[in-house]
A and B are shown apart, each in its own frame.
Chain A
Amino acid sequence: MSTIKTNPAIPGKVATAADANATYAAIQTGTAALSDLNEQTEWASWYHVDSATQESVFTSDVNDFCNSVGIFDLLVENFTVVDLGGTPMRMTYTPAVTYQNGNEFMRVHADINVDDVGQITLPNILNGANDVFFLQLWYRDGAGTYHAFPCKWGYSVTNMLTEDTTAIDIPFTIYDDHQEFIDYAMVHPRRRFRCSVTGFIPIVASGIDRIELRARLVDNVVVSAVSFKEATMTSMMIRR
């Protein structure tokens, strides 16, 4: 239903029964199912809310995670849950939080400190992601199936160049400068920095019962470990 048509009486013209009836019939039809198209925006305040009825619009479904003590040593090259001293960075909805209207989405944010970096063994020529770790958000749907957010956040832990510096072509000679770059990068690892990730999940038919932060190394020969601590994580269903 939207706006209701009327058939106005026109000056100088005899009003017909059909026109008069059409107006009332349109009102009858139009008021059979009122909708948000019949409302103004920004009209409701606390005074309009029935305290006995819990409207879905007020159910924000905020969840949180906060850890400042535990440490997680990332050692592997496949995505694994960040587990801070036995406390996984995971938020659980019981029962699964479900989507109730169109255009709703789940908003998730996590941030975590890199506490330390393990043994670094830089190759002469660094590939683009050898010294990188990735963070990724994952969720489990109401049917128990895990899904990765379709985006990853990569962080380099050294300032080593990815260009080939083993054979720099300068006038009259080819110069191998890679060791100087390695030496400098080895004493300037990036430590104690905070990583922030944010993701959004549109409608999942079966709902969501878990959200977790996972991490992986790209090459644990180059960077043997990255340890994390001091993390926060929050999720919230954005209702319509």
Chain B
Amino acid sequence: MAFTAPNIFTATTTMVAADVDQNNLALRTYLNVGIVAADIPNNVVNTVDIVRGEFLGVLNDNQFTTGDMYTQFVDLLTTNEQYWTSHVKPYDTAAASPYTYIQNSGKRLVLEHQADVIFSVGMLGVGNQNYQLTPERLRNPCYVGHTVGDVKLVDDIEACTAGHQFTEDKNNIDPPPGNAAVDVDNSGNIGNFSDTNNGFYCRRWYCQRIAFRNLEPGVHHFYVAASARCDKGHVKVINSQIEVFYKNIFVEPG
């Protein structure tokens, strides 16, 4: 309830110090302990009131971050591409089709509580420097991956996020007829002219956004991975961001 002064002064009566002090004391008491929850209306605590998460540096990433986002921007002009190669399969090598993790394309973070996470990534697949298998450059789809814990598995790849690049097929087949187009990788691309005519499939910009709901507390990785089908290739992940939305049911820390 509102503050109420104990003493009301009148114009014809000399104010005494004790009354003024009593009013001030009452005011101090009100400010210290007198304000109760009912004094603050519903729905006045907004996201601007919430402490922002600190990014890297002094504090860990797992600070209170409801509604906030972790983001990293890779400058297209100053950062080289991230190369991949099919010669090295960095994890889950026993699986049938291992994926190659694209460095600097995502982030590892620790969720304090159950949360919804939205991972957004903008990437540019670049194919024209993959000269090893020219002119047959096979499709190297890039995917969003999400790993719980630190052991990455093929099952962590989200197949629905496929972004196709490097879809350039043979110029010619052997034996003749030499100019026939053959879709050797079932990519849908049958560009059968000179190398410079195949550009529609080389460089593609993708923006992908995927939500992961009800993630449990703990370590999570969000990243881009390639299914490398050629000797080597590269991709530019220009921007990736992770938005963490903690659920409304949680346990206070400590």
Determine if chain A interacts with chain B: yes
Q: Which residues of A contact B (CB under 8 A)?
A: 15-18, 20-21, 24-25, 27-36, 39-47, 49, 51, 54-60, 62-64, 66-68, 100-101, 109, 111, 113, 115-117, 159, 187-194, 196, 198, 230-232, 234, 236, 238-240
- The digit string for B185-200, where 1 denotes a CB below 8 A from any CB of A, is 0011111110001001
Q: Which residues of A contact B112 (CB under 8 A)?
A: 46
Given contacts A66-B210, A194-B163, 6 further A-B contacts (CB under 8 A): A29-B2, A36-B44, A55-B45, A100-B43, A187-B181, A230-B162
Contact A42 B49 (CB under 8 A): yes
Contact B118 A42 (CB under 8 A): no
Say what secondary structure dominates the interface of chain B.
loop
Rounded to whole angstroms, the CA-CA distance of A20 and B23 in the bound complex is: 10
Identify the 4 closest CB pairs spanning chains A and B, nearest first: A191-B188, A17-B9, A24-B5, A60-B245
Rounded to whole angstroms, the CA-CA distance of A238 and B118 in the bound complex is: 13
Contact A36 B249 (CB under 8 A): no
Contact B35 A68 (CB under 8 A): no
Contact A39 B116 (CB under 8 A): no
In the complex, B15 has a CB within 8 A of chain A: yes
Q: Which residues of A contact B187 (CB under 8 A)?
A: 191-192
Q: Which residues of B contact A (CB under 8 A)?
A: 1-5, 8-11, 13, 15, 20, 23, 27, 30, 35, 39-41, 43-52, 64, 66-67, 112, 116, 118, 120, 139, 158-164, 167, 181, 187-193, 197, 200-201, 204, 206-213, 245-253
| Residue in chain A with minimal CB distance to B11 | A17
Contact B15 A17 (CB under 8 A): yes
Q: Which residues of B contact A191 (CB under 8 A)?
A: 187-189
Rounded to whole angstroms, the CA-CA distance of A93 and B234 in the bound complex is: 40
Contact A159 B50 (CB under 8 A): no
Number of A-B contacts (CB under 8 A): 198
The distance from the CB of B127 to the nearest CB of chain A, in whole angstroms, is 13
Contact A51 B251 (CB under 8 A): yes
Rounded to whole angstroms, the CA-CA distance of A230 and B159 in the bound complex is: 7
Knowing A41-B48, A44-B45, A62-B213, the reply to whether A187 touches B161 (Cβ < 8 A) is no
Rounded to whole angstroms, the CA-CA distance of A205 and B203 in the bound complex is: 44
Contact A51 B2 (CB under 8 A): no
Rounded to whole angstroms, the CA-CA distance of A113 and B163 in the bound complex is: 8
Rounded to whole angstroms, the CA-CA distance of A192 and B201 in the bound complex is: 8
Rounded to whole angstroms, the CA-CA distance of A36 and B5 in the bound complex is: 24
Contact B11 A232 (CB under 8 A): no
Rounded to whole angstroms, the CA-CA distance of A15 and B16 in the bound complex is: 11
Q: Which residues of B contact A55 (CB under 8 A)?
A: 45, 248
| Residue in chain A with minimal CB distance to B30 | A31
Instruction: Identify which of A41, A59, A111, A234 contacts B49 (C-beta below 8 A).
Output: A41
Contact A232 B3 (CB under 8 A): no
Rounded to whole angstroms, the CA-CA distance of A18 and B211 in the bound complex is: 61
Rounded to whole angstroms, the CA-CA distance of A15 and B51 in the bound complex is: 43
Contact A42 B197 (CB under 8 A): no
